[in-house]
């Protein structure tokens, strides 16, 4: 699985493995503002202060609303968030990166299925980030950077970290059947994910692959 621009633009969402069974029970991924009130547990792995700002941040195109009206994906692995989780920089999380799994989707498949979406050319909360709702504008994404392992700002380019965090946001919810694959950091996690999937034979069974290069 590698990101390309064209017919298979891959999208990456990190979730804690504890959340896989609830997602399969629901049969979909839901935006924070659309999460069903069904009592199912969900392990958050996000910075609380950042999430509070996303709850308020308006989307200027597509269906509108705020960032929390969407299911978020990145355009590449090795996100800034993953590094912070691995290095203990997110309050309340200290499990490292092993329990984190990638749910992978394809932008073109989501569009063909009728999903409404928007995407950005950088961090969603940055003041000068551009927003788009047409896949023809995917050229606005910095494809040379979104999948890179090293993305810190440099004296000659102090906008790298913002561009690295370009997002693809799916309006309200995403059917589980549109998850194209799952990636994990090692073989033990692959077996664990496959065992969880097998508990839900009525659900789509995406392939599970070990992708160590997607982890720090």
* Residues marked as catalytic: 54, 167
Query: Residue 76's Cα: distance from chain center in Å?
Result: 9
Chain centroid to Cα 135, Å, comes to: 17
Q: What is the DSSP letter of 172?
A: S
DSSP 59: P
Residue pair 209/37 in contact by the 8 Å Cβ criterion: no
Closest to 75 in 3D by CA, of 99, 50, 45, 107: 107
Cα four-point dihedral sign 109, 135, 77, 85: negative
Contacts of 112 (CB under 8 A, 6+ apart): none
Percent helix, percent strand, percent coil in the chain, to nearest 5: 30, 20, 45
């Amino acid at each position: 699985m590698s990101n390309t621009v064209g017919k298979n633009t891959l999208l990456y969402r990190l979730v804690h493995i504890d959340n896989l069974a609830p997602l399969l029970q629901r049969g979909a991924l839901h935006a924070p503002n659309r999460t069903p009130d069904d009592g199912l547990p969900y392990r958050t792995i996000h910075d609380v202060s950042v999430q509070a700002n996303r709850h308020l941040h308006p989307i200027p195109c597509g269906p509108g609303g705020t960032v929390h009206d969407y299911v978020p994906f990145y355009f590449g692995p090795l996100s800034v968030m993953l590094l912070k989780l691995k290095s203990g920089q997110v309050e309340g999380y200290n499990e490292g990166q092993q329990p984190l799994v990638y749910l992978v989707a394809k932008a073109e498949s989501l569009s063909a299925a009728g999903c409404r979406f928007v995407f950005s050319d950088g961090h969603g909360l940055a003041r000068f980030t551009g927003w788009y709702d047409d896949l023809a504008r995917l050229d606005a994404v910095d494809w040379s950077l979104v999948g890179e392992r090293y993305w810190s700002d440099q004296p000659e380019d102090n906008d790298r970290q913002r561009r690295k965090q370009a997002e693809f946001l799916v309006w309200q919810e995403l059917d589980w059947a549109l998850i194209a694959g799952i990636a994990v950091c090692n073989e033990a996690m692959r077996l664990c994910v496959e065992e969880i999937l097998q508990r839900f034979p009525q659900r789509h069974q995406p392939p599970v692959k070990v992708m160590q290069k997607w982890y720090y």
